[in-house]
């Protein structure tokens, strides 16, 4: 009798295991999407899901090279003009074919001032988008800035949507109809989102998985336990210390240095902070290695003005004395600036992505050189308002990074830049930024950006800290998964599970 039961049990387990098996990946993530309209979303959590559902004209491969997506190829005709050739065999998830009309409509929709799309500003310098016939599409620019344009085309906010679908009155924040490798099969808010393989994806044999279920588990301990229990196959790890709980012979660990970086943002008009010598002193009084050890458990790297992994453009942080810990030099600089007895300022931070922890370590480190940093811990919504209104002495936050120097630097350091919340204004910096984006000679462009990087460290409008590693862990059944430097998960399309 007992035997019969155990046979039945084994049978049931087998059935369950098989039912589970065949290419259905369960992926524990920490946050859920807020809205599904590719042209409106701003939340990273929405991007992460939708980049597998929608396609743009271009996309990044795992090495952050721009590669064709819905555009089969492109040709830079002159520095102001680029022509794309669309793929011909693409269909939307509802079965309708992708047409030139859909592409034109999508950019109209993005640029429509009534939409309030975050991507609208990408295309302010675009003078015309034209159908040249023969599946060819021409972008003409007012300025010779094709390179940043190409980067802007690779992102969920520049996705191509179906004109017919949008005009049928579909609620785009709730319903999706993309051309990507997966389509949303089920979404239970606060619980899970299931993506189903799209059978007629334009690339043969892609995706490899039949389905992905994103299970939303906000607590780190919950995600780690779920992975260890076998409830999920793949999990986002937010606390590097959790890796200690995952033995190497049962789990695969994925570490991906990302382009985003932590910064100590400074109000360059606030008291002592107005003096670049003081700002450089702060930079040298911060022990970044200790910071990385304490907050990121070593899973991070010191970053410079451009991320050091972007070898084509970056002047490595080791080239600057400002990025190494040197309290002696910091004190000398403070002395020179007339703050030999120290000064006090406040650091605003929210309890998010370890911002509060970074602030605590910086507070303790600055105390060593006689600078008294008072912590102003606020809720995230309040933080954003303070950031927007430049209502702070300094703050800890994270900026998204880019492999393109114009995307990385212009909006942050130009005196008119949209995310220059530092009251930073330097005529030479503006000049270099403007020259850099228009320069078409690669060597000259490199020289401009190199000079700019030295100048930006000299000025230190804010303090670059570090870029963390993005961490994931999976059971050994998962293969082919690789997170990307821009935190994108498009490689899920080539992920497999045994």
Q: Which residues between 70 and 129 bind other proteins (CB under 8 A)?
A: 113-114, 116, 118, 120-122
How far is C-alpha 289 from the chain's CA centre? Answer: 23
- Contacts of other proteins in 182-201 (CB under 8 A): 188-192
Q: Least distance in Å: CB of 87 to other proteins?
A: 29
CA dihedral 243→260→271→278, nearest 10 degrees, is 80
Neighbours of 37 (CB within 10 A): 23
Which residue in 193, 216, 366, 403 binds other proteins (CB under 8 A)? Answer: 216
Which residue in 10, 14, 15, 34 binds other proteins (CB under 8 A)? Answer: 34
* Spatial CA neighbour of 400 closest among 422, 378, 419, 386: 419
Is 253 one of the binding residues for other proteins (CB under 8 A)?
A: no
Is 143 one of the binding residues for other proteins (CB under 8 A)?
A: no
* Spatial CA neighbour of 268 closest among 426, 453, 407, 137: 426
Is 446 one of the binding residues for other proteins (CB under 8 A)?
A: no
Q: Least distance in Å: CB of 123 to other proteins?
A: 11
- CA of 209: how far to CAs of 180, 197, 481, 488, 496, in Å? 13, 7, 11, 18, 6
Is 219 one of the binding residues for other proteins (CB under 8 A)?
A: yes
Q: Least distance in Å: CB of 69 to other proteins?
A: 22
Number of residues that bind other proteins (CB under 8 A): 75
Look-up of token digits 């155990």: 6
Which residue in 218, 321, 338, 340 binds other proteins (CB under 8 A)? Answer: 218
C-beta closer to other proteins: residue 343 or 387: 387
Which residue in 7, 15, 42, 415 binds other proteins (CB under 8 A)? Answer: 42
Q: Least distance in Å: CB of 155 to other proteins?
A: 12
Neighbours of 225 (CB within 10 A): 17
Q: Least distance in Å: CB of 226 to other proteins?
A: 4
Q: What residues contact residue 265 under an 8 Å CB cut-off, 6+ apart?
A: 387, 392, 394, 395, 396, 397, 421, 422, 462
Stretch that binds other proteins, among 32-40, 142-150, 337-345, 471-479 (CB under 8 A): 32-40
- Contacts of other proteins in 355-384 (CB under 8 A): 356-357, 360-361, 363-364, 375, 377-384
Binding mask 330-359 for other proteins (x = CB under 8 A): ---------------------x----xx--
Is 21 one of the binding residues for other proteins (CB under 8 A)?
A: no
The token pair that represents 22 in the structure block: 């065949």
C-beta closer to other proteins: residue 68 or 400: 400
Is 173 one of the binding residues for other proteins (CB under 8 A)?
A: yes
* Spatial CA neighbour of 261 closest among 331, 221, 308: 308
The token pair that represents 167 in the structure block: 């005009």
Is 169 one of the binding residues for other proteins (CB under 8 A)?
A: no
CB 251 within 8 A of CB 243: no
Q: Least distance in Å: CB of 398 to other proteins?
A: 8
- CA of 386: how far to CAs of 260, 267, 412, in Å? 21, 12, 17
Neighbours of 458 (CB within 10 A): 13
Is 226 one of the binding residues for other proteins (CB under 8 A)?
A: yes
């Amino acid at each position: 009798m007992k035997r019969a039961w155990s046979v039945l049990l084994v049978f049931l387990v087998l059935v369950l295991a098989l039912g589970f098996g065949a290419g259905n990946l369960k992926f524990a993530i920490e946050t859920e999407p807020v809205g599904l309209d590719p042209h409106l979303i701003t939340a990273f959590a929405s991007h992460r899901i939708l980049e597998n559902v929608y396609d743009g004209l271009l996309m990044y491969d795992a090495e952050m090279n721009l590669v064709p997506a819905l555009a089969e190829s492109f040709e830079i005709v002159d520095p102001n003009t680029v022509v794309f050739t669309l793929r011909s065999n693409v269909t939307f998830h509802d079965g309708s074919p992708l047409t030139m009309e859909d592409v034109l409509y999508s950019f109209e929709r993005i640029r429509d001032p009534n939409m309030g799309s975050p991507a609208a500003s990408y295309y302010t310098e675009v003078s015309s988008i034209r159908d040249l016939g023969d599946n060819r599409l021409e972008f003409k620019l007012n300025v010779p800035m094709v390179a940043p344009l190409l980067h802007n085309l690779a992102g969920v906010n520049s996705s191509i949507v179906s004109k017919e679908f949008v005009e049928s009155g579909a609620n785009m924040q709730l319903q999706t109809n993309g051309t990507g490798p997966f389509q949303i099969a089920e979404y239970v808010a606060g619980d899970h989102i299931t993506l189903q393989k799209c059978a007629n994806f334009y690339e043969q044999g892609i995706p490899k998985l039949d389905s992905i279920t994103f299970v939303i588990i906000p607590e780190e301990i919950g995600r780690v336990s779920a992975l260890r229990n076998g409830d999920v196959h793949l999990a986002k790890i937010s606390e590097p210390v959790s890796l200690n709980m995952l033995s190497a012979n049962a789990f695969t660990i994925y570490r991906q240095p990302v382009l985003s970086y932590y910064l100590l943002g400074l109000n360059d008009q606030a008291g002592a902070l107005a003096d670049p010598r003081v700002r450089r002193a702060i930079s040298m009084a911060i022990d970044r290695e200790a910071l990385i050890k304490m907050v990121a458990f070593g899973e991070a790297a010191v970053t410079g003005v451009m991320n050091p992994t972007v070898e084509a453009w970056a002047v490595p942080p080791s080239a600057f004395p400002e990025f190494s810990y040197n309290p002696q030099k910091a004190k000398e600089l403070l002395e020179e600036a007339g703050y030999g007895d120290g000064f006090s300022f406040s650091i605003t931070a929210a309890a998010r992505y370890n911002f509060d922890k970074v602030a605590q370590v910086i507070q303790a480190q600055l105390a060593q050189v006689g600078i008294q940093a008072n912590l102003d811990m606020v809720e995230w919504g309040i933080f954003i308002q303070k950031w927007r209104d430049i209502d702070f002495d300094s703050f800890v936050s994270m900026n998204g990074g880019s492999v393109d120097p114009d995307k990385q630097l212009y909006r942050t350091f130009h005196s008119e830049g949209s995310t220059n919340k530092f009251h930073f204004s330097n005529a030479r910096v503006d000049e270099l930024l403007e020259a850099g984006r228009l320069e078409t000679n690669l060597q000259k462009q490199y020289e401009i950006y190199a000079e700019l990087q030295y100048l930006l460290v000299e000025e230190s409008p804010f303090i670059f800290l570090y870029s963390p590693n993005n961490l994931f862990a999976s059971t050994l059944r998962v293969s082919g998964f690789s997170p990307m430097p821009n935190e994108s998960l498009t490689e899920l399309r080539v992920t497999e599970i045994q």
